[in-house]
Amino acid sequence: MASSRRDYVSDKATVKDFVLNFRPATAQPSDPPHYMAVLQAVANRETREVNVSLEDLMEFTGGNTGLADAVAHNTARYLTLFQEAIDEVLPEPTANVEDADIVDVLMHQRRERANAAGGSAAGGAGGGAGGAGGDDGAGPSVPEFPPAMRRRYELRFIPPSKKEVMGIREAGAEQIGSLITLSGVVTRITEVKPLIQVATYTCDVCGFEIYQEVTGRTFMPVAQCPSERCRANNTRGKLYMQTRGSKFVKFQEMRLQELSSQVPVGHVPRSITIHLKGSLTRVATAGDTVEVTGIFLPISYTGFRQIRAGLVADTFSYAETAKDAVSDDAVATLAADSAVYSKLAKSIAPEIFGMEDVKKALLLLLVGGVSRNVRNSMKIRGELNVCLMGDPGVAKSQLLKYISRLTPRGVYTTGKGSSGVGLTAAVIRDKTTGEVSLEGGALVLADMGVCCIDEFDKMDESDRTAIHEVMEQQTISIAKAGIITTLNARTSILAAANPVMGRYNRRLSPTENINLPAALLSRFDLVFLLLDTPDVDKDQLLAQHICYVHREAKAPPLDFEPYDPALIRAYVARARECNPVVPDDLASYVVSTYVGMRENEARRKELHGHTSARTLLGVLRLAQALARLRFADVVTKPDVDEAVRLMHMSKASLTSDSSSSSGLDPKSAIYTIIRDEDARRGHSQTLRYDDILPLVIAKGYTAALLDDVMDEYADIGVWTISSDRSTITFVS
Partner 1 sequence: MYTVQSLLQTALDAASTTGTPLAEIKSLNHLEHHKVANGSVVRFRCMVQDNLDTLLCRAVVKLDPVPGAEEEDPAQPRGSRYLCGKYRHTVPLPDGYDVDDDFRAYSDQYTYHCTTVPGETPWLLDDEANELPPFGTPSRKRRTRSRDDDDDDDAGNMMARAPSFSPSPSPGLGPAPGDMDLGSPSASREGTPAASSSIGPAAKKNRPLAAAASSAAAAFTTPGATLRNLNDAIVNLPGTGAGAGPAFGAIVHFYDSDPSLKLNSIIDVVGILELTPAETAFRNPHDAEGIDFYEEHMAHHPPSSLVPRIHVLFHDTRAHPLASIPQPVVDPDASRAALALPLSVEAALGSSAAAAAAAAATRAHLAAAAGGDALAAEYLMLALVSRVTSPPEASSPLGSFHLNLSGVVGGSAASLYQAICDVAPLVVGVPLAIDLLNDRSFVPHKDYTTNRLVAGVLQLAPSTMLLVDETAMASGQVSQVGVANLFAFATIMDRAALEYDFGSSQGLAYDNITVAMDTPVVVFSEGTSMFASSKKQAFGNLSRLLELPLEPAAPSSTSSAPAPTVDHATAMLIRRFLAAVRWAPYTFDDSLSDAISDEFTTLRTDPTLNMDPQRLSLWLTLARWHALLHGKSSLDMDSWAAVKDMERARLARVAARAAAAAASS
Per CB under 8 A, the segment of 87-95, 123-131, 251-259, 573-581 that binds partner 1 is 251-259
How far, in whole angstroms, is CA 397 from its chain's centroid? Answer: 28
Nearer to partner 1, 544 or 722 (CB): 544
Per CB under 8 A, the segment of 3-11, 419-427, 479-487, 608-616 that binds partner 1 is 419-427
Q: How far is CA 325 from CA 164, 168, 321, 441, 720, in A?
A: 12, 14, 11, 29, 61
**Shortest reach from residue 473's CB to partner 1, in Å:** 24
Instruction: Count other C-beta atoms under 10 Å from residue 25's C-beta.
Output: 6
**Contact characters 448-477, partner 1, x per CB under 8 A:** ------xx--x-------------------
Q: How far is CA 384 from CA 18, 29, 395, in A?
A: 58, 57, 21
User: Where would I find the H helices in 300-424?
Assistant: 329-336, 340-347, 356-367, 396-406
CA separation for the pair 496, 455 (Å, rounded): 6
- Which helix (H) or strand (E) segment holds residue 454: the answer is strand 450-454
Nearer to partner 1, 402 or 504 (CB): 402
Nearer to partner 1, 530 or 644 (CB): 530
**Shortest reach from residue 355's CB to partner 1, in Å:** 12
The reply on whether position 395 binds partner 1 by CB under 8 A is: yes
Among 73, 77, 231, 270, binds partner 1 (CB under 8 A): 270
Nearer to partner 1, 93 or 556 (CB): 556
Nearer to partner 1, 137 or 390 (CB): 390
Helices (H) and strands (E) in the chain, counts: 25, 24
Nearer to partner 1, 468 or 554 (CB): 554
The reply on whether position 548 binds partner 1 by CB under 8 A is: yes
Nearer to partner 1, 9 or 536 (CB): 536
Yes or no: say if 223 and 141 are a contact pair by the CB < 8 Å rule: no
CA separation for the pair 710, 723 (Å, rounded): 12
Nearer to partner 1, 142 or 312 (CB): 312
- Total residues at interface with partner 1 (CB under 8 A): 86
The reply on whether position 549 binds partner 1 by CB under 8 A is: yes
Nearer to partner 1, 29 or 266 (CB): 266
**Contact characters 191-230, partner 1, x per CB under 8 A:** --x-----------------------xx------------
**Shortest reach from residue 543's CB to partner 1, in Å:** 4
**Shortest reach from residue 641's CB to partner 1, in Å:** 31
- Which helix (H) or strand (E) segment holds residue 179: the answer is strand 179-189
Per CB under 8 A, the segment of 86-94, 296-304, 380-388, 698-706 that binds partner 1 is 296-304
**Shortest reach from residue 419's CB to partner 1, in Å:** 4
**Shortest reach from residue 167's CB to partner 1, in Å:** 12
CA separation for the pair 513, 497 (Å, rounded): 11
Among 75, 197, 200, 257, binds partner 1 (CB under 8 A): 257
**Shortest reach from residue 408's CB to partner 1, in Å:** 8
- In the region spanning residues 347 to 386, those forming contacts with partner 1, defined by CB under 8 A, are 349, 351-353
Nearer to partner 1, 512 or 539 (CB): 539
Per CB under 8 A, the segment of 115-123, 294-302, 482-490, 706-714 that binds partner 1 is 294-302
The reply on whether position 407 binds partner 1 by CB under 8 A is: no
**Contact characters 309-328, partner 1, x per CB under 8 A:** xxxxxx--------------
Q: What are phi and psi of 189, to 5 degrees?
A: -150, 140
CA separation for the pair 541, 539 (Å, rounded): 5
Q: What is the DSSP letter of 506?
A: T
**Shortest reach from residue 426's CB to partner 1, in Å:** 9
> Which residues are bridge partners to 477 per DSSP?
486
Among 255, 598, 667, 675, binds partner 1 (CB under 8 A): 255
The reply on whether position 263 binds partner 1 by CB under 8 A is: yes
Among 539, 561, 633, 676, binds partner 1 (CB under 8 A): 539
Instruction: Count other C-beta atoms under 10 Å from residue 647's C-beta.
Output: 23
Closest CA to 575 of 344, 376, 375, 280: 344
Per CB under 8 A, the segment of 63-71, 398-406, 639-647, 719-727 that binds partner 1 is 398-406
**Shortest reach from residue 361's CB to partner 1, in Å:** 18
The reply on whether position 544 binds partner 1 by CB under 8 A is: yes
Q: Spell out the long-range contacts of 396-401 with Cβ–Cβ below 8 A and sequence spacing 24 or more.
A: 396/454, 396/496, 396/530, 397/454, 397/496, 398/349, 398/352, 399/348, 399/349, 399/352, 399/355, 399/358, 399/359, 399/362, 399/496, 400/452, 400/453, 400/454, 400/494, 400/496, 401/452
Closest CA to 481 of 422, 429, 423, 418: 429
Q: How far is CA 124 from CA 134, 225, 408, 476, in A?
A: 7, 15, 65, 72
CA separation for the pair 641, 56 (Å, rounded): 54
**Contact characters 140-169, partner 1, x per CB under 8 A:** -----------------------------x
**Shortest reach from residue 118's CB to partner 1, in Å:** 42
Q: What Rg value do the Cα atoms of the chain yield, rounded?
A: 37
CA separation for the pair 422, 692 (Å, rounded): 49
SS3 of residue 497 by DSSP: strand
Nearer to partner 1, 222 or 312 (CB): 312
- In the region spanning residues 425 to 444, those forming contacts with partner 1, defined by CB under 8 A, are none
- Strands 727-730 and 719-721 come out as antiparallel
